[in-house]
Amino acid sequence: VDSITERDECPQVQQAIADPNKVVVVSTSPAVRAALGEEFGMEPGAFVEGKMVALLRALGVDYVLDTNFAADLTIVEEASELIRRITQKDQPLPQFTSCCPGWVHFTEIYAPELLPHLSTAKSPIGMQGPTVKTYFAKQMGLDPRQIVHVALTPCTAKKFEIRREEMHAAGDYHGIQGMRDTDQVITTRELARWAKAAGVDWNALEDSAYDSLMGKASGAGVIFGNTGGVMEAALRTAYAYLTGQSAPQSLLQLDPVRGYEGVREAQVTIGELKIQVAVVYGTANARRFLAHMKESGKQYHFVEVMACPGGCIGGGGQPKDLMKNADETRKSRIAALYQRDGAMELRSSHENPEIKAVYEAFYGEPLSELAEQMLHTTYYDRSDMIKRKDENP
Ligand code: SF4
């Protein structure tokens, strides 16, 4: 992940803002709001969602949407896929998460035998892009060709992900060639640099709210930014789908998958099923976990892997000034997102009214034909990249 060169795409976003024929839509990832304040002298873990939205508006962005909405969408699709794998046995278990491009890239290069295990659900940004240029555009009366969709992320690897050749589902839907689902990725640090250069007074910014249709999220969407968050979020929804009841308190705070250890495990009972899960961060831990899985022969059902320490809150595009005390800074950011989740009424992705609305008006139901086309993807065996490197060192 670190080897991916950071290319600042703010100039392209500024150009689009200045162009009267463009509509600039920015979607903000879960982890940015737990770290952006550090760039303006705030303590690690300051939760600055409202100021972040206000900042984007001050910089001239037309619509500010929340990638946490798409995190909820990812959970609904990914939990449905997990249930299908367990009950219909159509694909192998364990299912591995696929929302981290660092982990997906690692699998494609170093562990291609695992590709059938990767969830086909796109990452939240991978789902947000095509949904903005179809559903959102239609509901708002916008021409999708005018939309410049920008992802504000903690992640430098997302710059690679949005340029994967298959990320043009909205273009296929509209029959428009060459239209990418997401046009630019800017990181937390790049946004802060842009704001400072533009002379925005951070302290004077009054909290602002997201635009609607794709701006509301559940607590499950919020914790996506933490290691273990995707797992916990998915289990809340899987529980509801399998039992027809809301997730119990033990799943609204699933302590064994929370924390800062590189590998954590839990067994969760849902009805008759005992689901064995594991949460891993960092590629060194992932290698160790895969070796352990092979040697022990233990049957896991669902495994979350994120490339960065602590998950996306520790992403390569996050503020670095406080990284002398890196672990403590990351733990404060993690705590900020759990605190926010705990304070919310809406805790599960499938209960989000905006998620219900997007299925009702557009996608139909999870894993529908349209959902498969727009929200799921395929992966490639890229192990020949190592062979080529060995042949031409
Ligand atoms: Fe990006 Fe790191 Fe998050 Fe993976 S864990 S999506 S590489 S920020």
Q: What is the DSSP string of 188-233?
A: HHHHHHHHHHTT--GGGPPP-PPPSSS----HHHHGGGSTTHHHHH
Q: How far is the CA of 100 from the centre of ligand 1 (A)?
A: 5
C-beta of 102 in contact with ligand 1 (< 6 A): yes
C-beta of 1 in contact with ligand 1 (< 6 A): yes
The pLDDT assigned to 3 comes to 40
The pLDDT assigned to 392 comes to 64
Residues forming the active site: 78, 81, 99, 119, 158, 161, 166, 312
C-beta of 308 in contact with ligand 1 (< 6 A): yes
- Least Cα distance to 28 among 51, 44, 8, 45 occurs for 51
Q: How far is the CA of 71 from the centre of ligand 1 (A)?
A: 14
Cα Rg, the chain, nearest whole Å: 20
Taking CA atoms only, the protein residue closest to ligand 1 atom 6 is: 100
- Least Cα distance to 117 among 254, 246, 245, 293 occurs for 293
Taking CA atoms only, the protein residue closest to ligand 1 atom 1 is: 155
The pLDDT assigned to 385 comes to 85
The pLDDT assigned to 174 comes to 98
Q: How far is the CA of 317 from the centre of ligand 1 (A)?
A: 9
The pLDDT assigned to 1 comes to 41
The ipTM of this complex is 0.99
Q: Domains, the chain, ranges and CATH?
A: 10-384 (3.40.50.1780)
Q: What is the pTM of this model?
A: 0.94
The pLDDT assigned to 2 comes to 41
Closest atom, ligand 1, to C-alpha of 123: 6
- Least Cα distance to 378 among 181, 125, 111, 108 occurs for 108
Closest atom, ligand 1, to C-alpha of 311: 5
Most ligand 1 atoms within 8 A of CB, residue of 2, 4, 96, 155 to mutate: 155
Alpha-helix residue ranges (DSSP H) falling in 7-66: 10-18, 49-58
Contact 307, 282 (CB under 8 A): yes
Q: How far is the CA of 311 from the centre of ligand 1 (A)?
A: 6
C-beta of 154 in contact with ligand 1 (< 6 A): yes
Q: How far is the CA of 337 from the centre of ligand 1 (A)?
A: 16
Mean pLDDT by 10 residues, the chain (393 residues): 66 98 97 96 95 98 97 96 95 97 96 97 98 98 98 96 96 97 98 97 98 96 92 94 91 90 94 94 96 96 96 94 82 94 94 97 98 97 80 63
C-beta of 230 in contact with ligand 1 (< 6 A): no
Q: How far is the CA of 129 from the centre of ligand 1 (A)?
A: 18
Taking CA atoms only, the protein residue closest to ligand 1 atom 7 is: 102
Q: How far is the CA of 391 from the centre of ligand 1 (A)?
A: 30
- Least Cα distance to 307 among 329, 274, 280 occurs for 280
Closest atom, ligand 1, to C-alpha of 1: 7
C-beta of 315 in contact with ligand 1 (< 6 A): yes
| 147-153 vs 23-28, strand pairing mode | parallel
The pLDDT assigned to 258 comes to 93
Quick check: bond before 94 cis, omega within 30? Answer: yes
Q: How far is the CA of 259 from the centre of ligand 1 (A)?
A: 17
C-beta of 311 in contact with ligand 1 (< 6 A): yes
Q: How far apart are CA 334 and CA 337, in angstroms?
A: 5
Taking CA atoms only, the protein residue closest to ligand 1 atom 4 is: 100
C-beta of 312 in contact with ligand 1 (< 6 A): yes
Taking CA atoms only, the protein residue closest to ligand 1 atom 3 is: 312
Closest atom, ligand 1, to C-alpha of 281: 5
